Amino acid sequence: MDLLPKNKGNYSKFIRFTGLGLQMGVSIWLGSLIGEWLDKKYPSEHISYYKVVTLFVVFGSIYSIIRQVIKLSNQDDEE
């Protein structure tokens, strides 16, 4: 009786994508904290650092995830 599944590679992909989601969430949370701190430290009527930093981190996280998914799919094509 074999306790390990035969398609072990599929689980590693699932874990990798779960990690990407957690990484994106933590990055956005930290970006919003930095934006709040900047708003308190340098108040301005014209710019909201909270919004700017949070949006920058969201776009950076999406870019990073897209790059990693493309890299993973290219590795699958080679195998």
Tens of pLDDT along 26-75?
A: 999 999 999 999 999 999 889 899 999 999 999 999 999 899 888 888 87
- pLDDT confidence bin for 5, thresholds 50/70/90: low
Structure-token pair, residue 20: 């990407």
Question: pTM, whole model, 2 decimals?
Answer: 0.73
pLDDT at 4 over 70: no
pLDDT at 2 over 60: no
CA 38 to chain centroid, in Å, comes to 22
Contact 61, 22 (CB under 8 A): no
